[in-house]
Amino acid sequence: MTRPFALASLLLLPALLGLSATLASAAAFWALWALTLTVHGWSCGWVRNRLNGYWRMTANVLLATTWGSCAHLGAQALAFGPSTDLGAYLALIGMQCVLLEHEGLFATNQRRARLELFALSAGLLVAITLLRLLLGSNIAILAPTGFILLGLLLAGWQARTQRRKPH
């Protein structure tokens, strides 16, 4: 993933920490997130070549809020109980769509960057969720535990990548 997409990827952090308490909520969020980003990128492809400047950004925001609202309504229609936990996090998807479109992630030559973003988010979500489940206590489902586990995962990743670099 390239540097410009890092800011928009940070919007995934609250969901990583808040929804990773159970595997069902983590999987439901990731599926809705990936579907919304994919549909938004596809629909912005139609707009990208037809509008310029202010109108393109306005259309981008309208499409992002539309697809985010559709994801929220779809989650409510499929499973109302678990969807109440997803509400605030699904609202962040629209903002992430706008930022990623603005940074060019949905351009046709960025297919690999999109796949890396999807794989990285799924990997982090699964890793934090499994670590929380392995800990198994009531403390593990709290958000600070998610911060600690995310910090440990990122430290391990950094140590692994620095070990590969020759000095």
- φ, ψ dihedrals at 15, nearest 5°: -70, -40
For 11-35, what is each residue's pLDDT tens digit?
777 777 777 777 888 888 888 899 9
Instruction: Say which residues have a Cβ less than 8 Å from residue 72's Cβ, sequence separation at least 6.
Output: 83, 86, 87, 90, 91
Tokens of 20: 């990773």
Both structure tokens of 40:
């938004």
What digits encode the pLDDT tens for the residues 157-166? Answer: 788 778 766 6
Q: Determine the pLDDT at residue 80.
A: 64
58 φ, ψ to 5°?
-65, -45
Inter-axis angle of helices 143-164 and 111-135, to 10 degrees? Answer: 120
Q: Is the pLDDT of residue 39 over 90?
A: yes
For residue 3, how many other CB atoms are within 10 A of its CB?
Answer: 7
pLDDT digits (tens, 9 = 90+) for 94-127: 888 888 888 888 887 888 888 888 888 888 888 8
Using 50, 70 and 90 to split pLDDT, how confident is the model at 7?
A: low
pLDDT band per the 50, 70, 90 thresholds, residue 2:
very low
